[in-house]
Amino acid sequence: MSNTTRRAVFGGLATLATAALLAGCASAPTTSSSSAPTASAVAGFKPCMVSDLGGFDDKSFNQLGDEGLKDGAAAVGVDPIEVQSNAETDYAPNIDSLISQNCTLIVTVGFALSAATVTAALANPDVDFAIIDDAADNDFDGKTDAPNIKPILFDTAQAAFLAGYASASYSKAGKVATYGGMNFPTVTIFMDGFAQGVAYYNTQKSKSVQVLGYDSANPDAATFTGGFEANDTAKTTAQNFIDQGADVLLPVGGPIFQSAGAAITDSGKDVALLGADADVFDTFPTYDSLYFTSVLKGIKQATSDVVKASATGTTFDTAAYIGDLENDGVGIAPFHNFESKVDSGLQGELDSIKSDIVSGKIPVKSYLSK
């Protein structure tokens, strides 16, 4: 399906009431402070998870989902089950294997599992399902396709707007770049917000910082590596932008940022790197000297909350959760080693911009915009 179609379809989902059940996520993922249960699950409760192809060690959203599963399970005193997918053909069998193990909550990670999740949910109405980064709306009517699926979504365009503004402020070359793994709304939402943030900086400061790799007016012409693997293609893509003079890179797509780190290191140039989903300064410190900031999703906390809610045995709240700046479901990481390199007034500007985005004074467009 085309990115344009997905974008139009999911726009309708944003009108669904967001779940009061889920608390706002912390700006940066944190580990559980205690392994001791804080509540009791109903008898027989068994939370489970299926990864996408990135695997649970992707230093990104699969890993955060896995941490959230374990955190929530520990909080209610049960052991989770997790299954990693190594091919697209694994998705449905992996879900079925969890059903056969009597899982009562199955969390699937990523839009690629949407169809398999819907099929399994319709066939197993007594099992609770949640899906990270997808609306589970495969018939394109703006509604979740099964009554027992809870979408966990993140309006990362808002956080990426802040990262784009900061990147434009930092760039010495007047060129920044963003690119994705594949052309899906959950990828391009980062790129779109980033480009809007750069454009806002240009307007406010009368500058002309260029965005390579993405044009908000023509998103389908954006640059993609063709997958979500850290490989030679991902490295070459990063190198091409470095060769074009970009001195800030935002790769969006699981571990492809690792290839960008390798390309920057090999180039010997002063290029800053941004992470997506997790604070890569913490999850993959190999390139810690390169990390400018990361655009964060509160996947861990949201997933943990879903596990704990399902564990009560009461009616499962399947209203879509949409993380944004207002509920701290998205955000940006600290500047870490770049703290002394950014303008002294930048953080104050970002705080004001965040406030204006939350109030609606600064509109940030995305397929999840309310």
The pLDDT score that the predictor gives to residue 306 is 95
Mean pLDDT of 149-163: 97
pLDDT-derived band at 28 (thresholds 50, 70, 90) equals very low
Amino acid residing at 201: Y
DSSP state of 329: S
pTM: 0.84
pLDDT tens digits for range 237-282: 999 999 999 999 999 998 999 999 999 999 999 999 999 999 999 9
Selected residue with higher pLDDT from 314 and 306:
306
The pLDDT score that the predictor gives to residue 140 is 80
Across 37-41, 88-92, 348-352, least confident range: 37-41
- Spatial distance between the Cα atoms of 219 and 4, rounded to a whole number of angstroms: 9
Do residues 299 and 283 lie in contact, with contact meaning Cβ atoms separated by under 8 Å? no
The pLDDT score that the predictor gives to residue 163 is 98
User: How far is CA 214 from its chain centroid?
Assistant: 18
Share of the chain above pLDDT 70, in %: 90
The pLDDT score that the predictor gives to residue 206 is 98
Return the closest-CA partner of residue 12 out of 139, 109, 104, 120.
139
Q: Residue 7 pLDDT more than 50?
A: no
- Spatial distance between the Cα atoms of 69 and 62, rounded to a whole number of angstroms: 11
Dig out the tokens for 143 from the structure: 């509604």
How does the average pLDDT of the chain come out, rounded? 89
pLDDT tens digits for range 57-66: 887 889 999 9
- Spatial distance between the Cα atoms of 27 and 43, rounded to a whole number of angstroms: 34
Q: What share of the chain is helix, strand, coil (3-state, %, to 5)?
A: 40, 15, 45
Share of the chain above pLDDT 90, in %: 79
How many Cβ atoms sit within 10 Å of the Cβ of residue 33? 7
- Spatial distance between the Cα atoms of 63 and 168, rounded to a whole number of angstroms: 30
The pLDDT score that the predictor gives to residue 370 is 61
User: How far is CA 211 from its chain centroid?
Assistant: 21
Strands 330-332 and 291-297: antiparallel
Q: Residue 31 pLDDT more than 50?
A: no
Do residues 279 and 337 lie in contact, with contact meaning Cβ atoms separated by under 8 Å? no
pLDDT tens digits for range 222-240: 999 999 899 999 999 999 9
Mean pLDDT of 205-218: 96
Torsion of CA 159, 164, 170, 174, to 10 degrees: 180
Helix axes 156-170, 185-205, angle to 10 degrees: 40
Do residues 207 and 276 lie in contact, with contact meaning Cβ atoms separated by under 8 Å? no
Coil vs helix vs strand at 292: strand
The pLDDT score that the predictor gives to residue 23 is 31
Do residues 297 and 156 lie in contact, with contact meaning Cβ atoms separated by under 8 Å? yes
Mean pLDDT of 187-198: 97
The pLDDT score that the predictor gives to residue 171 is 98
- Spatial distance between the Cα atoms of 160 and 323, rounded to a whole number of angstroms: 13
pLDDT tens digits for range 64-95: 999 999 999 999 999 999 999 999 999 999 99
